[in-house]
Chains A and B, each alone.
Chain A
Amino acid sequence: MKTVKNFVKVRNTTEHYRQSEHYKKGEVVSAYGFLTPAMVLAILFIVLPIILAFTYGFTDYYLLKPNDKQFIGLENFTRMLSDEVLMKSFMNTIKFVVFVVPLQLSMALGLALIVNKKIKGVGFFRTAYFSPAVLSLVVISILWTVMLNPTSGLINEILANIGLPKQPFLSSADQAMYTIVAISAWSGCGYQMMIFLAGLKNIDNSLYEAADIDGANAFQKFLFITIPSLKPILMFLVITTTIQAFKLIVQPMVMTGGGPDYSTMTILQYIYEYGFRHRNIGYASAVTLMFTVFLVVVSIVIKKLFREERAA
């Protein structure tokens, strides 16, 4: 969203100079000098991969037989439609996004509301809620896999202590993805709590005082003052969390390897498995291409929705 807004600003500021069309030679030389390293790296490592995905996506390129690649037209793309594992991975990814975004954001907002209270000891709670954010995804994944062990893990012992039945968690095709959703929300919400908190601190207190005079209760104040004031932040977090969630891979890679029965395999992981591990470059490039286009479309669509929301 910021990109789009700034882009408008970009056009406006440069417009003025373009009319004058005179450049100082020293400036031009410095500018290209300053830009060259970044441009070379960007072309090599961002643009070139996209071009490669485009060209290899229409071939049967197999990494171990590099001289034997044939142009096969749209065959890779038609193959995708009947590829059950790919479809399953896609649905898993959607499932993850649909559950993790609302869960994580509502947890983050709830935490922010708690630590926004001006009360003694709130700093401790803020640090506690934020603490998982210092762990890397790999550390989180390993720690939780050990804790969720179906026979001897900490979580099942706690469940047993409070009289609940033991759960299989990651080793059950029904529960594995929801477990990953919960762990991801657990580890990510502290960060977003801080962002919500900054937003809450910015809300003008006189709004709440006015509402008090009108006799509004806490829930009404939350619904009619807090939520609307947080809307820009909320939308920003929805966009970033959604895009991030589509790129899920580390947790399933470390915790389940995509199993059981492909129930936690995501699109990115599918590309990794078939392209990198099985060296099936042609087909995986085609999947990469579709996935990239899909993500670009998704981010454009939600940014557009957001812009309309703001204009309204």
Chain B
Amino acid sequence: MKIVKKSLFYLLASVVALQFLVPLVWMILSSFKIDEVIYRDIGSIYAIIPKFSDLSLKSYTELLGFYHIFQNVGNSLIYASITVVFGLTINSLAGYALARFQFPFKDWILIFIIALMIVPIEATILPLFLVVNEMGLINTVPGYLMPFIINVMNIFLFRQHFLSFPGELIESGKIDGLSEMGCFFRIVIPSSLNMYITVGILTFLASWNDFLWPVMALSNAELMPIQVALNAIFSDTYNIYTSHMMAALTIVTIPIVVLYIIFQKYIVEGSMQSGIK
């Protein structure tokens, strides 16, 4: 009885797993084939099981000959990194001030931040475009990056985090002659690394995955982040080979897989932290 129950469980779990894995396996496997082989195999089990004699790197070499995928990946890595560094600094400084200092209008500023949290930021993307356009920053990297460096949700998360930060640590830093700014960079950040990594990773992923805003703010091919470039490849070229497309999708996914493997713990915890506490 127990054996039967156990096997049924494994059967169910595996059938469900197939629905998640088959598309991914097909994507990766197809990227190592040529189109004739992809469509020859598509009705058979070899669509998702490798037959090593059929696999080659041809689609990758051809794809990279036609498109500058690595440049777009590089752009995205740079954009995401800049957003993380500036975003963490600016948002955590604000969160820290709101948690630790007493100053006039503090309540009002907090209420302001909380009110902004309810603004559905993507919904106002068109007037955001107009603002950046009137600043003359459309099709420039600063114009693309600045609006999403500020993140009121993260200001709030940092504030909540710093509320319970031990004040004695900062006092002792001041006795050692550090300024408030010095305390922040030398004491507060190093002892809140977990928090910074968590928020940083989520910021990085959001920036990497962003699509709508760069479509509007960066149309210059050389500045394009990878998500926009992918869509351009997919929609501009009617006759793109399936194998090339799958190779492009695989290349784009690799950095994120690496990121997930390294930071798995932070990503899952972070996504919950931003909601449930």
A-side interface residues toward B, CB under 8 Å?
2-3, 6-7, 10-11, 13-14, 17-18, 23-24, 26-28, 30-35, 37-39, 41-42, 44-50, 52-53, 56, 111, 114, 117, 119, 121-122, 124-125, 128-129, 131-132, 134-139, 142-147, 152, 154, 157, 160-161, 186, 190-191, 194-195, 198, 232-233, 236, 240, 243, 246-247, 249-250, 253-254, 268, 271-272, 275-276, 281, 284-285, 288, 291-292, 295-296, 299-300
Contacts and interface: CB of A to CB of B under 8 A. Distances in A.
Interface stretch (B58-66, B143-151, B189-197): B143-151
A182 B249 CA distance: 20
A299 B72 CA distance: 36
B103 A186 contact: no
Contacts of A30: 97, 101, 180-181
Contact of B121 (A3, A46, A145, A285): A46
A272 B126 contact: yes
B271 interface: yes
Contacts of A121: 10
24 contacts: A3-B117, A3-B156, A6-B156, A32-B97, A34-B94, A34-B97, A35-B94, A35-B98, A35-B109, A37-B90, A41-B90, A42-B112, A44-B146, A48-B127, A52-B130, A56-B130, A129-B16, A129-B20, A131-B20, A132-B23, A138-B211, A272-B126, A276-B129, A288-B124
B17 A38 contact: no
A28 to B, nearest CB: 4
B260 interface: yes
Contacts of B91: 38
B146 A271 contact: no
A13 B101 CA distance: 12
A139 B120 CA distance: 24
Q: Which 5 A-B residue pairings sit nearest by Cβ, starting from the closest? A: A49-B127, A38-B94, A41-B150, A34-B97, A31-B101
Contacts of B125: 268, 271-272
Contact of B21 (A53, A122, A128, A198): A128
Contact of A143 (B23, B123, B160): B23
B42 A157 contact: yes
Interface residues of B, number: 92
A27 B122 contact: no
Contacts of B53: none
B225 to A, nearest CB: 10
A233 B93 CA distance: 30
Given A45-B131, A247-B123, A249-B212, 9 more contacts: A34-B93, A38-B90, A41-B90, A114-B9, A114-B13, A117-B9, A132-B23, A142-B234, A250-B211
A52 B231 CA distance: 30
B141 interface: no
A56 B134 CA distance: 14
Interface in B90-143: 90-91, 93-94, 96-98, 101-104, 106-107, 109-110, 112-114, 116-132
Q: Is the interface of B mostly helix, strand, loop or mixed?
A: helix
A2 B275 contact: yes
A46 B119 contact: yes
Contacts of B152: 42, 46
Contacts of A284: 126
Nearest to B98: A35
B130 A46 contact: no
Nearest to A41: B150
A157 B43 contact: yes
B160 A6 contact: yes
A42 to B, nearest CB: 5
Contacts of A39: 94, 109
Contacts of B10: 121
Contacts of A190: 20
B169 interface: no
B198 interface: no
B252 A139 contact: yes
Nearest to B122: A247
B237 interface: no
Contacts of B102: 17, 23-24, 27-28, 31
A146 to B, nearest CB: 6
A38 B150 contact: yes
Contacts of A250: 211-212
B63 to A, nearest CB: 14
A246 B163 CA distance: 33
B155 A38 contact: yes
Contacts of B107: 10-11, 14, 18
B6 interface: yes
A49 B212 CA distance: 16
Contacts of B184: 34
B12 A45 contact: no
